[in-house]
Each structure stands twice: as C-alpha cells, then as structure tokens.
Amino acid sequence: MKIAIVSTTRYPTEKAYGVTIQHTAAALRNLGHASRIYGPGTDCIDNSGNQVVGIMSQKTSRIFIKSLLKGKKFLFAIRSIILGVRFKNLSKSENFELIWLRDPYFAATLRCLKVKVPILIEIHHIPEGGSLRILRWLSKKNTGIATLTPTHLDRLTELNLQGPMCISPMGVPSDFFIDPKLKKEVSPSSFGYVGKAISSGSDNRLDVLVDEFRIAQSEDSKLRLTLIGLEKNAIESLMKLQGVVRHNSLDVNLIGNVPHSEVINHLKNFHCGILPYMDSQYNSMRFPIKVLEYAASGTHIIASDIPAHRALLSDSLATFYKPDLRGSLADAISYVRHNEEEVSQKIQNAYEWAGGFTYENRVRQALNCISDLEMG
C-alpha cells in the first residue's frame, strides 16, 4: 500500500508527535508498505530512514507560527488549508492509497478539492465547535478516525461520528526494550523523569516533584533524582529552588533536551521513572510515550493517581501516589525502597505489557480500521 503521512507542523522534531510519526512511518515500511512523510520544511531523510517531502518552505511556515504565538489561532487553520491545496496535486500524481494525518482542516481541504483517497485522521482531543462540525462531515466522506485510548474512543463515539473508528495506541521502539534481568546492577536509589516542564501549555509541576523528592531524601540520603529533557527556563527555575544546590553539587540532576534516540541511554540507569501529571482535560486524553518507554526499559513506573493513568495502568504494573496530597509521592518512593520483591514483579509485568505496544501493532490496528473504506 502506498501511504502518505502528513504533518502540518514542523518535522523532523524531537517532540512526541514527531517521534510517533517517525516510528509509525518506519513500521509501515517494515510491514512492506511504501510510506513517505509530507509537511512544511525541506526534503530530507529522518533518523529512521524515512523520506520527508517538504510542501511549504520553512520561511513561510515560520511566518504563520509567529502569528500563532501571538494568539492568532485562525492562521493555523489557514496554513493547514494552504498545505492541503499544495498537497492536492501531489496526491493526484502519486496515486496514494491512504493519507494518514492529524489535522481536520487539512483533511477537509482535500475533500473539498475532490481528493477521494481514503483518509485516516488521528484525533488526540475532544473536538468542539467548528472542529467537531468538520470532523462529523469528514466521517461521512471515506474517512476513518483513530485515537489513543478506550476512554477517548468512548468520548468520540458519543459525538455520533459516522466513519469507522479505532484505537491506534502509542508505541515503543524495539531498541527501548531492556530485559529487567539486565538491570540488576542499577542502583535502587536512582529515580528519574523524562519530559518537559510544560506540555502543550499544561504545567507538569516539576517544582512539586522536586519538593516531594526532597522529603523522601530527608529520610534516605542515598536517593537521587534526574530530570531529563527540560526547557532552559525550567532548569533555571528549579535551580533557584531553595536547597537544590548544596556544597556545589546537585541533589537533583537537571538535564536539558536530548535526542529521543539517546533517551534509552538514560533509562538504562533509572530504577524508577515518575509520571507526575496532574488531572486535567488535556491529560485525560493523553497516552504519554514515556509510560511505554519506562515499562519497556525495565524501569519501575511511579504514576500520579489520576483517571488517565488508571485507564492505562493497574496496581500490578505501577505504584500510584496522590498528586495533590503533600507527602504522597515521598511515601510511594519509600514503598518502592522497602518492597523490593513486589516492585521487581511489577517491573516484570510492565515489561511484558509493553511488548504489546510495538509500532508495528499500532500500524496494524490503524490499517484494520480503514479496511472497509473505498480504496481508489
């Protein structure tokens, strides 16, 4: 099958959506499909060997991004429409059998221009207003809808969308799998977090995480915390927290952005990985990639006890804490330190669970979703 994967935002990128696009395209090729990635930017080959085709110059794209950052969100829709118009001619000459994307405005543009190729659109939020009306219209136009979690699928089903819908969950690259038996030498005092301080405008409250960890450190001075992938201003803010710097050494090791391919080199040294997210509408729809990366790398998961995490994880896979209760995370850390056998079993369970979330499985589920659409 000849498949176009379309990104209407910058690509390549180390952001989660970029990592997902990269490995999804590679998985399609591994399964024998011909896939290319299209979007704003220049032609290139990404880190997984995927061919990337630019359909808008970086200079033009940046003009729209600057306007978007100034609050002119309608320009994002206009940019998607322009990209759709430019892509239309490509779709006619390339004879795609499927167009896989995440932008309703781009998809609607193709349909208005009489592009009849089946479309699979990923929806990672609850559409409202104009977006919902567009999605309802698209669902009648040879379009399949994929989402990440059963909870999100239930919410979308309630919106009376007519096209085929499915779950196409996040995946984890094969090189992130580390048999827990190979991490026996990792210090049980080593804890970490991989991610940003701010996710799509939502504060991940890493200041609370650091404060909680210091409570745990007051009881066990051997504990060490590493935060990886932080923005520069987040590192500066955390450095200013009273007590973070002691005798010219850090209680908390703060590391800026690292290429996604290098994240596994840090996870090799983590005994536990923390998911500190608060309950919010944004987080309720998320399937964080790091859930799978922690599990696959034999890293024990300590997760905030919010509905989104409960929908993905059970007590047999992770240790939970109350994110709004001071001392709860410190108690969870203490539990991990004093229940080695139970935690080891959770690590093994999570490792086996992650094995079902390869990118090849993600692709198979998505393609099954559109199997009844009109091809050609």
What are the beta bridge partners of residue 192?
A: 226, 273
pLDDT given at position 67: 56
| Mean pLDDT for the stretch of residues 21-45 | 95
Domain ranges for the chain: 2-171+358-369, 174-354
Residue 7: CB atoms within 10 Å: 23
- Tell me the pLDDT of the chain averaged across its residues: 90
pLDDT given at position 249: 43
Sign, CA torsion 9/10/12/17: negative
Percent of the chain with pLDDT strictly greater than 70: 92
Among 73-82, 121-130, 210-219, 253-262, name the one with the lowest average pLDDT: 73-82
Backbone angles phi, psi at 47, to 5 degrees: -70, -15
For residue 51 the two structure tokens come to 């061919």
The rounded distance, in Å, linking the Cα atoms of 144 and 115 is 15
pLDDT in tens, 170-227: 999 999 999 999 998 999 999 999 999 998 778 899 999 998 998 998 888 899 999 9
The answer to whether residues 71 and 98 touch, using CB atoms and an 8 Å cutoff, is: no
Rounded to 5°, angle at Cα 107 from 9 and 199: 35
Write the CATH number of the domain with boundaries 2-171+358-369.
3.40.50.2000
Backbone angles phi, psi at 154, to 5 degrees: -60, -40
The rounded distance, in Å, linking the Cα atoms of 131 and 104 is 7
2-171+358-369 with 174-354: one CATH topology? Answer: yes
Backbone angles phi, psi at 305, to 5 degrees: -85, 80
Bond into 169 cis (ω within 30): no
pLDDT given at position 92: 79
pLDDT in tens, 294-343: 999 999 999 999 999 999 999 999 999 999 999 999 999 999 999 999 99
pLDDT grade, residue 248 (50/70/90)?
A: very low
What are the beta bridge partners of residue 167?
A: 147
pLDDT grade, residue 10 (50/70/90)?
A: confident
Q: Which CATH class for the 174-354 domain?
A: alpha beta
